[in-house]
């Protein structure tokens, strides 16, 4: 587990003096409500214990110098920041400085360490950006609210990294609280902290290690299909759609657009149903909603891959209460709700299924709702 001391030592070793502080932001798992956040819909994520850590100190020359654990050091001028530049991990850090300060900003020295699995669909990129923005906001005394920072983090993804993501990941990283799920309305940006009461139950995250790549166009293609369907249906956002509208639109919607609408409408309904059960303490009854969400993401939204499908099916066959992919899809992780006594059997079943299909071994961890972003030193 990475710590504030480790990232501070990394900073001091690279830059010759201690940082002015250390901040961290978590990755997230989305319990339910996938591919709804850019359509004005509902989601229910929670923070995980794995975090990105940032040590920071401001500069005055318009340069971002950064060192990342296991990745070396790099630098960029804020004048160089643009879509796709700088590439890789430095883009998130320089992009954060750029959206806060602009091309004529003062610059930063930064150290980064993270134990959020990269490519696991657990918001490793959002955690980096949110930790950096929180550090910059605190040290500059800018006074942005948490949701404002989430919006700035989304701008980094859109304008620098080139991924047209929604607002869920950034909001979760900055606004989640321990032992609670974040019921998020992405139209109003209102949130409700929903207690997680799950005695005798466990949430198993399985990183399938299938490459999770959103910048290859498929994520953007699904978003485009949603936007086109919204225009065709003549509604403000796809959140306002109903299943009846699909039939009424007929051939005006392509088959793919109609499938996207079906997913968004049904997924928002599942979020509402899951929240009701959780607020009533009936956590063990949400499993079928998770499983139905996976089926919708597989069949209608078309964002699963064989590893995700195999992991979900193997978990259910071994007695899990529910299982679904979590994150943007096209790789990444599954989330399984399982009784504590069945946990080992479910893990073993997934591992065996992967071996039978010739997939590389997955990685598992048990999780529960953790703290959101914070200053740590």
Residue for token pair 């073993």: 348
- Catalytic residue annotation: 169
The closest of 233, 226, 195, 206 to 39, measured between CA atoms, is 226
Question: 219-253 burial, b if ≥16 CB within 10 A, otherwise e?
Answer: beebbebbbebbebbeeebbbbbeeebbeebeeeb
Residue (of 275, 346, 307, 299) closest to 31 by Cα position: 275
Is residue 16 a contact partner of residue 368, using CB atoms and an 8 Å limit? no
261 by Cβ neighbours in 10 Å (0-12 / 13-18 / 19+) ranks as buried
What are the DSSP E strand ranges found in the chain? Answer: 21-32, 42-58, 63-68, 72-77, 107-114, 180-185, 190-195, 201-210, 322-326, 332-339, 363-367, 374-375
Q: What is the Cα–Cα distance from 110 to 125, expressed in whole angstroms?
A: 16
SS3 229: helix
């Amino acid at each position: 587990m990475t710590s504030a001391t480790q990232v501070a030592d990394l900073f001091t070793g690279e830059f010759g003096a201690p940082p002015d502080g250390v901040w961290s932001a978590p990755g997230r798992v989305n319990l339910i409500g996938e591919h709804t956040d850019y359509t004005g819909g509902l989601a229910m994520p929670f923070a995980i214990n794995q975090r990105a850590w940032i040590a920071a100190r401001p500069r005055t020359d318009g340069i971002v110098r950064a060192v990342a654990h296991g990745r070396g050091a790099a630098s960029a001028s804020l004048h160089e920041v643009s879509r796709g530049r700088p590439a890789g991990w430095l883009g998130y850090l320089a992009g954060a400085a750029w959206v806060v300060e602009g091309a004529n900003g003062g610059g930063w020295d930064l150290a980064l360490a993270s134990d959020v699995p990269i490519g696991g669909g657990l918001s490793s990129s959002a955690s980096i950006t949110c930790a950096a923005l929180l550090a910059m906001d605190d040290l500059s005394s800018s006074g942005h609210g948490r949701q404002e920072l989430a919006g700035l983090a989304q701008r980094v993804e859109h304008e620098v990294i080139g991924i047209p993501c929604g607002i869920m990941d950034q909001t979760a990283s900055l606004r989640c609280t321990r032992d609670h799920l974040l019921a998020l309305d992405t139209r109003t940006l209102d949130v409700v902290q929903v207690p997680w009461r799950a005695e005798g139950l466990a949430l198993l995250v399985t990183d399938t290690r299938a490459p999770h790549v959103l910048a290859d166009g498929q994520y953007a293609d699904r978003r485009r299909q949603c936007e086109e369907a919204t225009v065709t249906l003549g509604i403000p956002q796809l959140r306002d759609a109903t299943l009846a509208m699909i039939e009424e639109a007929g051939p005006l919607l392509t088959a793919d657009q109609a499938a996207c609408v079906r997913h968004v409408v049904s997924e928002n309904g599942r979020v509402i149903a899951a929240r009701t059960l959780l607020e009533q303490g009936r956590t063990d009854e949400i499993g079928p909603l998770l499983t139905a969400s996976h089926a919708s993401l597989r069949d209608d939204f078309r964002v699963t891959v064989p590893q995700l499908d195999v992991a979900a099916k193997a978990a259910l066959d071994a007695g899990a209460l529910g299982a679904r992919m979590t994150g943007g899809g096209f790789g990444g992780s599954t989330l399984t709700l399982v009784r504590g006594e069945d946990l080992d059997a479910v893990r073993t079943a997934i591992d065996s299924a992967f071996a039978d299909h010739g997939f590389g071994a997955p990685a598992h961890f048990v999780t529960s709702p953790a703290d959101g972003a914070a200053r740590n030193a």
